[in-house]
Amino acid sequence: MKCKKFKSQNKRVFIILSINDIIIIINNNSKRGGILVSKGSKIFTIVAFFIVISVVGYGVYAFSKGAAFFPEEDIKYFKTFAQAFQIAKSNYVDPEVVTSKKMIYNAIKGMIESLDAHSGFMDPEGAKELEVETKGMFGGIGIEITVKDGILTVVAPIDDTPASRAGIQAGDQIIKIDDKITKGMTTEDAVKLLRGTPNTKVTIHIMREGFKELKPITLVRDIIKIKSVKYKLLENHYAYIKISQFQEQTTNDFVKAINELQANNEIKGLIFDLRNNPGGLLDQAVKISDQFLDEGTIVYTKGRDGKEGARFNATKGKSVGNYPIICLVNSGSASASEIVAGALQDHKVALIMGTTTFGKASVQTIFPLEDGSSLRLTTARYYTPSGRLIQAKGIVPDIEFKDSSPHTIREKDLPRHLPGVEEDKEKQVDTKKEDIKEITKPAKAPEEDEMVKKAIELLKGYEIFKNRQK
């Protein structure tokens, strides 16, 4: 049997175990690891291991710098897994339940999802859905969801979708989808139930603070075309731009919006709305930040060894003019939107107004697998230009603005959330002490939104003060 090494450009070594290309090291004296076979070895060990190999037809990847083979400790636990797999496959009462695909997929899902709240496994169908979503169009009801304490919870409804029109709010707990209980359900499984053919119905049963019993809400699925950039001129001189999510075309749409507003009007200030923006593509967050800056760091990352990874810097040629800017945020502002808010705050080009953001400062990388499935794995933490790590903390606004709406969940509330460096892993934050309430569902028209009104007042005040200094 020949052993083959596969090296990628980043010098990570791939060891592939598949039915077509079995790479195993059988060496009695190997100090580097592998399967050790001696005359007294039990045949079961080899048989069980080859059962797993035959099942994992799409490949198992081992990533380690310079290490060519699985270490002996890993082989030990692979053997345990093989034994458990064989016992379950051969003895479980309902044989149709223990299909090879289902058992292996569930094993991978459990392994990856136990790492943190944002790592996960997507089967081929789920991987395709993720690709579709980043392009900004899919069939569904229009909500961003997560799992808190085993309960499916709404992070934010997407504007102008069946969910937002039906009054679904951030923080709503989805207890049932049609006749299926959601407790213990993954977000990927929930998405499969919520999405579907347009004009078909789905009923969600929600619990909300103040409700005495579950409230069923029947929604008609629609094509969710996420128009990520909306804009409007307020009171003749104040530009309003809202980004609802960072997608492939977000920067292009933003530049078109700001250019149109600036070309036809005397802009005295910009209200930049990132409320209930759950994030999206990192490169779009960087490019949007670059529209406000001509130089300096936008964001940088640190990986598993604590060393700096990628650093993203601004370039000359910003599209936003030299006028005062107020950026609106709330606890529904997460991930990519926090990168933008953090960059604007650190470079002092905008005042941040609202309530503390979600606090997700981790980077997930998609690793495609051979059969079309994918791993979504947390690979780094990101830092604002000044070196702040906001993981499980969030961006604290310069101007706090509250109202009577119920607050939503934040990163620190999620089980298995990735801790910040300064956070004690053994002492999670007591979220019961949090009494901040905020706007979770802004008014449809910005001119009717209380926070927008307050921002315009501040911009007018700045204009008056500036004129008096002349």
Which domains, ranges and CATH numbers included, belong to the chain? 6-98 (no CATH), 137-224 (2.30.42.10), 227-363+379-468 (3.90.226.10)
Q: Is 242 a catalytic residue?
A: no
pLDDT of residue 226: 73
Q: Which of 159, 346, 413, 449 is catalytic?
A: 346
Q: Note if the pTM is more than 0.75.
A: no
Residue from 404, 261, 275 nearest 341 by CA: 275
Cβ(428)–Cβ(412) below 8 Å: yes
Q: Is 74 a catalytic residue?
A: no
pLDDT of residue 408: 60
Q: Which of 331, 333, 335, 374 is catalytic?
A: 335
DSSP collapsed to 3 states, 89-106: HHHCCCCCCCCHHHHHHH
Q: Is 18 a catalytic residue?
A: no
Q: Please, what's the b/e burial string for 401-438 (b: 16 or more CB within 10 A of its CB; e: otherwise)?
A: beeebebbbbbbbbeebbbbeebeeeeebeeeeeeeeb
Q: What average pLDDT does the segment 49-56 reach?
A: 42
pLDDT of residue 239: 98
DSSP collapsed to 3 states, 54-83: HHCCCCCCCCCECCCCCCHHHHHHHHHHHH
pLDDT of residue 403: 52
Q: Using 50, 70 and 90 to split pLDDT, how confident is the model at 114?
A: very high
Q: Which of 148, 242, 268, 360 is catalytic?
A: 360
Q: What average pLDDT does the segment 356-374 reach?
A: 92
Decide the pairing of beta strands 229-234 and 362-368: unpaired
Q: Pick the most confident of 30-39, 71-80, 224-233, 449-458.
A: 449-458
Give the model confidence (pLDDT) of 412-445 as tens digits. Answer: 766 667 776 554 443 333 333 333 333 344 456 8
